[in-house]
């Protein structure tokens, strides 16, 4: 059976900084993502794609707000499901155009714990930026938690619990084994909790990279490929000593994270996902951009490779 690579694409790669998120813009960006995935598939790998949905769910939240006087607003987890569907369609069509691959998008539910501490401490910003007065009013009127986001304004903050289990895992595994390119756990998956009545959706969003790790680990994937905006991870970013990292051990990556090298709003979740995957499976994880992703599959290739054992020539 071919080796399995789980490839995590950021939502910002589909709606890029400075773009409005039009259909034409997202379609053009999806073509570049599809080309990278096709090259990985052509190299003999079975591919499972996980995509982000941050910009898209934010735009959908604005549409919900603006139309609230005409149609009822829907729960946050439904907005996640909607974007999982439309981005699954977008990527599926792009992949079929790029390589005529057998592609199956799977609407995916991710189980989280009802007692996850994240529900008491919402930290994930979603939706539009607001001035402080509007944000405070929304908090009082709607019961939202709001907070400042990177000095750019105030936004709604929602819980981001840890992914525990991918509900559709058996189907995803079977499809991947049959040679399909599977699109799954989009936006981290639709967050659900288990209770006496079965599964129910909850107001939360799940980190896409952590969901990709959970899926990759449970599949026993041979590689977790985290696609971001930069070719390699950098240490001392923005400082005179800034340098790229070609390879790190888990211990080295965790030490750099503890030293504050990888902020939560940037590289932090990717490093956490990568180190978890390597510790769980013993297989490597790679962080790179879409242009270099097809060249990051083997040792010594592009990107930053995180491995279990001693790193060689780690920092350039």
Whether 194 is covered by a domain: the verdict is yes
User: What average pLDDT does this structure show over 80-105?
Assistant: 94
Q: Supply the CATH number for residue 229's domain.
A: 3.40.1160.10
Whether 62 is covered by a domain: the verdict is yes
pLDDT, tens only, 66-82: 898 999 999 999 999 99
Which residue's entry shows tokens 């240490």?
235
Would you please indicate which residues are annotated as catalytic (active-site) residues?
11-12, 124, 208, 270
User: Measured on CA atoms in the order 151, 155, 159, 161, is the torsion positive or negative?
Assistant: negative
User: What average pLDDT does this structure show over 105-126?
Assistant: 94
Which residue segment(s) compose the domain that 240 sits in?
Answer: 3-110+165-307
Whether 274 is covered by a domain: the verdict is yes
49: which 2 tokens? 């794609």
Counted domains in the chain = 1
Which residue's entry shows tokens 């990985």?
40
Whether 268 is covered by a domain: the verdict is yes
Whether 10 is covered by a domain: the verdict is yes
Whether 156 is covered by a domain: the verdict is no
Whether 76 is covered by a domain: the verdict is yes
Please say if the pLDDT value at position 248 is more than 70.
yes
Please say if the pLDDT value at position 94 is more than 50.
yes
pLDDT, tens only, 180-206: 999 999 999 999 999 888 999 999 999
Whether 191 is covered by a domain: the verdict is yes
Q: How far is CA 20 from CA 15, 26, 126, 185, 290, in A?
A: 7, 9, 16, 24, 21
Q: How far is CA 24 from CA 19, 30, 88, 180, in A?
A: 11, 10, 16, 26
- pLDDT confidence band for 314 (50 / 70 / 90): very low
């Amino acid at each position: 059976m071919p080796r399995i690579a789980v490839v995590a694409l950021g939502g910002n790669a589909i709606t890029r900084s400075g773009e409005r998120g039009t259909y034409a813009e997202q379609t053009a960006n999806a073509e570049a993502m599809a080309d990278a995935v096709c090259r990985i598939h052509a190299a003999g790998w079975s591919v499972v794609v996980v995509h982000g949905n941050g910009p898209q769910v934010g735009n959908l939240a604005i549409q919900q707000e603006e139309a609230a006087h005409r149609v009822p607003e829907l729960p946050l987890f439904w907005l996640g499901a909607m974007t999982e569907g439309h981005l699954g369609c977008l990527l599926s069509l792009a992949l079929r155009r790029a390589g005529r691959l057998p592609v199956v998008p799977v609407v995916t539910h991710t189980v989280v714990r009802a007692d996850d501490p994240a529900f008491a401490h919402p930290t994930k910003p979603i939706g539009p930026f607001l001035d402080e007065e509007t944000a405070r009013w929304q908090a009082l009127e709607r019961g939202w938690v709001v907070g400042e986001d990177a000095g750019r304004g105030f936004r709604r903050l929602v819980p981001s619990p840890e992914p525990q289990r991918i509900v559709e895992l058996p189907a995803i595994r079977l499809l991947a084994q049959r040679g399909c390119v599977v699109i799954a756990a989009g936006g981290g998956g639709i967050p659900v909790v288990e209770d006496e009545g079965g599964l129910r959706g909850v107001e939360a969003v799940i980190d896409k990279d952590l969901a990709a790790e959970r899926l990759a680990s449970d599949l026993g994937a041979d590689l977790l490929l985290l696609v971001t905006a930069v070719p390699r991870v950098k240490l001392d970013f923005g400082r005179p000593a800034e340098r790229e990292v070609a390879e790190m051990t888990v211990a080295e990556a965790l030490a750099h994270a503890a030293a504050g090298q990888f902020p939560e709003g940037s590289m932090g979740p990717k490093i956490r996902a990568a180190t978890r995957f390597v510790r769980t499976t013993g297989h490597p994880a790679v962080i790179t951009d879409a242009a270099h992703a097809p060249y990051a599959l083997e040792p010594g290739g592009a990107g930053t490779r995180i491995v279990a054992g001693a790193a060689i020539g780690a920092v350039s």
